[in-house]
């Protein structure tokens, strides 16, 4: 019997899948039954992710694309359609940040953060929604951040971009509900990645926030993937416009 959370028969695109959280999301979605198109700029990274997914018995295609460039995003979606004939799920995961307090943040740095972490979500959503409408529905899941829910000291543009993502998700959810296209977000706190120990070591303000996590640990990448799978699956068929925090309780302990 198929589980409510099964992604069997669905085709997913996961951006930023060349490493860490994006790759974990892509692999876990394949374990849940999806065929997965993996995309990022680094070819070796996405080829390795695709090989891992094929090793699980699912179909996978690696398509390099810079999510900041509309033409590359459109081409990536076209390649996905040529290979698999449909797109049911988009996971907007690509993103990154750098530490710079507002007084030190240049206009160029601001624009770069907004372009990568906010505009790209809009470009990717626009690139798939026409196909989802023709298919009778779909699910878009954006990876936001708890930095978009609270003040983001030393990370003002990233925090603003992620807050923008949380708002964009609500607007697209309302606009596209009539097409049965659901749009939701997952907001992780600190994710367990190889750079986390260095970040905590180098930045006292991050250590202080980390110390407020009630569960007293970082979020595992598989725990981010679990929330994505829920939102992408039919288990969440009546859920749209929400943001699920996966942060060990950190956000509710900061307010
Ligand atoms: N790490 C955390 O603690 C944390 C916390 C909350 C939220 N998040 C969010 O979770 C997501 C994943 O974080 P992570 O730490 O796993 O990230 P990461 O290890 O830095 O990986 C980022 C991914 O995004 C891709 N990417 C970056 N710029 C891109 C571009 N212009 N076009 C296409 N792909 C691009 C990278 O691939 P290429 O370089 O190969 O393009 C890579 O696959 C991000 O949205 C991040 O903001 C992270």
Inside any domain, residue 157? yes
Domain around 243: 11-248
Residue 244 included in any domain? yes
Question: What is the rounded average pLDDT for all residues in the chain?
Answer: 97
**254 part of a folded domain:** no
The finding on whether 233 has its CB within 6 A of some atom of ligand 1 is no
Query: Distance, CA 186 to ligand 1 centroid (Å)?
Result: 14
Per-residue model confidence as pLDDT tens digits over 17-47: 999 999 999 999 999 999 999 999 999 999 9
| Model pLDDT, residue 89 | 99
Residue 203 bears catalytic tag = no
CATH number of the domain at 111, please: 3.40.50.720
- Confirm or reject: Cβ of 148 under 6 Å from ligand 1: no
Asked whether residue 205 is assigned to any structural domain, the reply reads yes
Taken as a whole, the chain contains a residue count of 255
Given a cut of 90, whether residue 255 has pLDDT beyond it is: no
Q: Is residue 93 part of a domain?
A: yes
Cβ 219 under 6 angstroms from ligand 1: no
Locate the ligand 1 atom nearest the alpha carbon of residue 15 and give its number.
Answer: 34
Q: Is the CB of 158 under 6 A from ligand 1?
A: no
Residue 141 confidence (pLDDT) above 80: yes
Cα separations (Å) of 180 from 23, 111, 130, 175, 191?
27, 33, 12, 10, 31
**168 in any annotated domain:** yes
Residue 1 domain flag? no
Q: 171 lies in a domain?
A: yes
Express as a percent the part of the chain with pLDDT over 90. 98
Q: Quote the distance between the C-alpha of residue 23 and its chain's center.
A: 11
**pTM for the predicted model, two decimal places:** 0.98
At CB < 8 A and 24+ separation, what contacts does 149-154 make? 149/187, 149/243, 149/245, 149/251, 150/251, 150/254, 150/255, 153/101, 153/205, 154/99, 154/100, 154/101, 154/203, 154/205
Domain count of the fold of the chain: 1
């Amino acid at each position: 019997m198929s589980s409510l959370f099964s992604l069997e028969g669905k085709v997913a695109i996961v951006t930023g899948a060349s490493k860490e959280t994006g790759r974990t999301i892509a692999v876990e979605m394949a374990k849940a039954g999806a065929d997965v198109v993996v995309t990022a700029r680094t070819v070796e990274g996405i080829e390795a992710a695709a090989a891992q997914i094929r090793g699980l018995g699912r179909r996978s295609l690696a398509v390099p694309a810079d999510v900041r460039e509309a033409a590359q995003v459109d081409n990536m979606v076209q390649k996905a359609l040529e290979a698999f004939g449909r797109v049911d799920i988009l996971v907007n995961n690509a993103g990154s940040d750098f530490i710079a307090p507002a007084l030190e943040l240049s206009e160029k740095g601001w624009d770069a953060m907004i372009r990568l972490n906010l505009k790209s979500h809009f470009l990717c959503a626009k690139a798939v929604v026409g196909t989802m409408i023709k298919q009778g529905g779909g699910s878009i899941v954006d990876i936001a951040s708890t930095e978009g829910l609270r003040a983001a000291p030393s990370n003002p543009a990233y925090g603003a971009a992620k807050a923008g993502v949380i708002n964009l998700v609500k607007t697209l959810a309302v606009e596209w509900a009539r097409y049965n296209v659901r749009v939701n977000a997952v907001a992780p706190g600190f994710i367990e990645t190889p750079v986390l120990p260095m970040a905590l070591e180098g930045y006292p303000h991050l250590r202080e926030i980390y110390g407020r996590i009630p569960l007293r640990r970082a979020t595992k990448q598989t725990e981010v993937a679990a929330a994505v799978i829920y939102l992408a699956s039919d288990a969440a068929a009546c859920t749209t416009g929400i943001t699920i925090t996966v942060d060990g309780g950190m956000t509710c302990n900061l307010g």
